[in-house]
Structure 1
């Protein structure tokens, strides 16, 4: 029974880490697109 609990905890940890990595990747792409947009705005204003 204790081993089953450990497996569930490991499963939760894997799901959490995967979603955390996905959030990081999404945040990275959002930041990248914002930087690209800012560069374009700067080029337009010049």
Structure 2
């Protein structure tokens, strides 16, 4: 974002998105892993 903040987003972890493979557990975990990496870089 212009002010240096970072927006992290993911598909909603609904049963539909999980059952159809739109969002996997690994993908969801990767969002939080990336958030932690960005936090530690500050």
Tell me the TM-score normalized by structure 1.
0.41
**Structure with more relative contact order (C-alpha pairs < 8 Å, separation 6 or more):** 2
Tell me the TM-score normalized by structure 2.
0.44
Greater helix percent: which structure?
1
